[in-house]
A and B are shown apart, each in its own frame.
Chain A
Amino acid sequence: MVTAALNALGRPFAGIAPERRKFITLVLLTVVMLAFPIVHDNDGDIDSMANAMSYATLALGLNIVVGFAGLLDLGYAAFFAIGAYYYGILTSFQVMPEWSSFWQPFAALGLVEKMNQGGPDLVHFTLSFWLALPTAALVAAFFGVLFGAPTLRLRGDYLAIVTLGFGEIVPIVARNKSDWTNGAAGLNGVQAPRLFGWSFGVDATPYYYVGFAMVVLLIFISIRLRDSRIGRAWMAIREDETAAAAMGVNLVRFKLLAFAIGAAFAGMTGVFFVAKLQTATPEMFGFPVSTMILVMVVFGGMGSVWGVVLGAAVLQLLQSWFLKDLTQWINAFGDLVGSAWLRQVDLVQSIELIFGIILVVMMLFRREGLIPAMAKAPPLNMAAQTANVQRGGFTGLERIGRWQPAGGNALEVKGVTVKFGGLVALNAVDLVVPDGGVVAVIGPNGSGKSTLFNVITGLVHSDGGSIRFHGAELLGLAPHEILEAGVARTFQNIRLFPNLTVLQNVMIGEHARLHAGPVASVLRLPGTRREEAGARAWALDIIGLFGNRLTPRIDQIVSGLSYANRRRVEIARAIATRPKILLLDEPTAGMNPAETLELAEQIKSLHELGLTILLIEHKLDVVTRLAQNVIVLDHGEKIAEGLPDDVRRDEAVLTAYLGRTAQAAHAGVANG
């Protein structure tokens, strides 16, 4: 219904191009926001708006952690507290060490003043608000890394509870360490910001403009990060950590980065909030505050930049404007009908109840929030949906270049053993893949084929042996380092990033080959811009290999694709990593015979370009068509190796597949 109403409103503007419409909306919004304090000269309302802005910046910060990277942080207010106390302590009269010559250089920089209140000379900290904003961001980011580092290995729900623990510890420390914070009574005499000698004082208007500038800046940073290599890596972690690592994302670095940037936003907001309020008490930063910010993010839409800003604004203004008015109306109505209960109702008091209801209702009925992070792609027309089976391998291969096999062996697996408790999944397996060759691994279910792939790509630890790739040892490397070395894989049960588009999935494959860091992504200088354009072009080239199977669907969410198309996206994502060897785990599983043939020929055409391939496959005709050498695994041991046709007639292989008695009866059937 909301959508219908919005569509009706938008109809007169349908003639304007979407990009232009967006630009005009932004300009109008900015003008309205800038004019608000001038037009509406009510200090209380301007103050409410300034508060709403500080909650919007908090929501933007939490959105990076929860919405982008999927790390549920229930103690986010701790970083808000750190920023607040950092500025509060360094501008108030709370902490005043004795003066010594050590402080002289700081005094010269204007950071401290010498004071005398009778007795020895004391140090009064006088950190400027404008210097405090960026430095508080750094301090909070440091604590973000400090709190984040030990928790990164934890699963999502454990992470939530640990952050909750940290979130409780910080206010308790603030309460108990009263010589620094004045405990529960709160810091006194926090200085208002000054600009060219003019103090902001207690008037709300200057804070409104500073808050607005912060919101604009943080929206800008959030959007730039979201649409970059950094944002894609975060979303990959959110969607599937294992697949993200296998696609080259350094989990530790990118989780810490999300924690640090989220914390930095909160630290800055803490400075702003305390400067505006000119006091700080431990109660301002407890679990209810963390929850309120989470409610704002959930309400607006996790991962949606405009959504969380809207969520924060709506909830904050609901609290300070709407509920007050509504309470007065209900009370007046109570007077009218003579109901004592209605006369006393105070909805402002029940704001937390409303928050609770919002959380539950949103989770049950609208998990994507007010403004969903992912827009729905328009449905395809019939022509775009119709795909014919393509014969003769990939088209458009000339655009992706050739591999130049150097000869020798690409991959050498020697004596690799993997144990799960008492079960030996792989027992001293040897395997060689020549550079430029295609080797297939076959074997009954549970024979250790996928474990072999997992140990090569660093997803499981080995209990001995060695895996050399172009001479360098892979064992002991993290999955992302193995991908960087040039080993890319697909998964037997397809591990795409389900809520991202086809294009995003394939571009995440390029992660390890791109270089833009967080700063470059925010500034988006020409070099970064070129890199992004190149990354997109490369992804489109690879998607284009599959003809019109995927190209019309680049903006569709992959979880809505057909099974075969999801397999294709996964293969495209692996090719996008620019691998030196491609590990395909049952690439044709679940495909019909025509699709199987199509894909087999496509894989063959990659081989003809010089790409080295290691393949797990059940369909023997595919193996025969592609592989130069076949390895047979059974119960974790290599039982045979050789040319496809020889392996098919091998005694041990027939026994493994068909059983000893069945073998006699079906000896002639096995070559089917």
Chain B
Amino acid sequence: MTTADLILQQLINGVSLGAMYALLALGFTLVYGILELINFSHFNIFMVGSFVALMTLDAFGLKGQTVVLTGLPLAGVLLVAFLVTMVATGVLGVGIERFLLRRVRHVKGPAAMITTIGVSYILLNVVLLTTGADAKNFPNPLPAVHYDIGGAVLRLREILIWIIAFVLMGGLSYFVNRTRLGKAMRATAQDPDAARMMGIEVDRVIMTAFFVGSALAGAGGLIFGLYYNFTSASVGFVAGLRAFTAAVLGGIGNVPGAMVGGLIIGLIEASGGQLIATAWTDVVIFSILVLVLVFRPSGLFGRMAPNKS
């Protein structure tokens, strides 16, 4: 491979990873935008999503990498898998909000954040105790179609991931910017009290944010499985921290910012293996997190969260 091919290949990989991180980052941003809360349970909602996806695909008889589908069956199975995963993680997110976080949301100080750390731990260990710590083989039902662009390879997998991410993010943008509930969400993010006085049901808006954010994390979990062909109980932590970096990089609370931030982090991870040793990639990513928070806490594109003090 020439250098140009190498760069192109890492660009292809990076955009795919970036799409996944962006989906995950959106959940952080939606919740932070409204509650000013770093939701640590989001890390492992993503992980649970990848397991729900694994079980759904298993239920279709897809085990390991042996069964390959094409055409309508493939589209149908993937559609069902995404729907089931997203609804499951969405409901999980809403449950966490409704039954746990709602009780501590108004407490001053770190109580709400510590609660989300606890929830994250519970999710992680429930999965760990029921399935074990070892990595699970994730089905790969996609046919091995690929296009050669120079020396770089563009596989069907990547194209599919791009399309799905594009559709989901487009849908989210439409929802936030064009629908009545999306408008209510933007208003609540600016000022929950004023929004409440204008007749917006703030609790419903918050639940919607948790549902949408968690559903996107579930989709991210499925994409993780399709991309890496494995999942394990421990994937949530590192992916979550990277996605949080993406959200901060784009300006937390800022929906388009989270998408671009995700893309940047994906590109860094993909090129990290090439330019610096893979072992140090996370040091680079976490250093970016620290540097952005210290020197430009509003991120590259500006915070959209209100300044509640």
Contacts and interface: CB of A to CB of B under 8 A. Distances in A.
A363 B115 CA distance: 6
Interface stretch (B62-70, B71-79, B171-179, B279-287): B279-287
Q: Which of A72, A156, A356, A363 has the most CB of B within 10 A?
A: A363
Interface residues of A, number: 40
B274 to A, nearest CB: 17
Contact of A160 (B110, B120, B279, B287): B110
B103 A364 contact: yes
B270 interface: no
A70 B108 CA distance: 12
A350 interface: yes
Q: Which of B119, B279, B293 has the most CB of A within 10 A?
A: B293
Interface of B: 36-38, 100, 103-104, 107, 109-115, 117-122, 124-126, 128-129, 237, 241, 244, 248, 277, 279-280, 282-283, 286-287, 289-290, 293-294, 297
Contacts of A367: 107, 111
A157 B38 contact: yes
A356 B125 CA distance: 9
B280 A172 contact: yes
A581 to B, nearest CB: 26
Q: Which of A153, A298, A358, A359 has the most CB of B within 10 A?
A: A359
B237 A72 contact: no
Contact of A356 (B36, B120, B244): B120
Nearest to A167: B286
A356 B122 contact: yes
B118 A360 contact: yes
A158 B104 contact: no
Nearest to A170: B283
Q: Tell me whether chain A's interface is mostly helix, strand or loop, or mixed.
A: helix
A172 B120 CA distance: 22
B170 to A, nearest CB: 29
Interface in A15-58: none
A357 B122 contact: yes
B272 to A, nearest CB: 13
A349 interface: yes
Contact of B241 (A165, A176, A356): A165
B277 A176 contact: yes
Contacts of A162: 289-290, 293-294
Given A349-B129, A350-B125, 4 more contacts: A72-B113, A173-B283, A357-B118, A364-B103
B122 A360 contact: yes
Contact of A70 (B109, B126, B129): B109
Contact of B37 (A150, A151, A157, A359): A157
B282 A294 contact: no
B26 to A, nearest CB: 17
A176 B287 CA distance: 16
Contact of B115 (A164, A168, A291, A359): A359
B100 A161 contact: no
B118 A363 contact: yes
A162 B241 CA distance: 11
Contacts of A176: 277, 279-280
A567 to B, nearest CB: 21
15 contacts: A66-B110, A70-B109, A72-B113, A151-B290, A157-B110, A158-B293, A161-B293, A165-B286, A166-B286, A176-B280, A356-B122, A357-B118, A357-B122, A360-B118, A363-B115
- Sorted nearest first, the 10 A-B pairs with minimum C-beta distance are A359-B118, A356-B121, A353-B125, A356-B122, A360-B118, A165-B286, A363-B115, A150-B294, A176-B279, A352-B125
B121 A352 contact: yes
Given A151-B294, A172-B280, A353-B125, A165 B115 contact: no
Nearest to A360: B118
A175 interface: yes
A364 B100 contact: yes
A160 B113 contact: yes
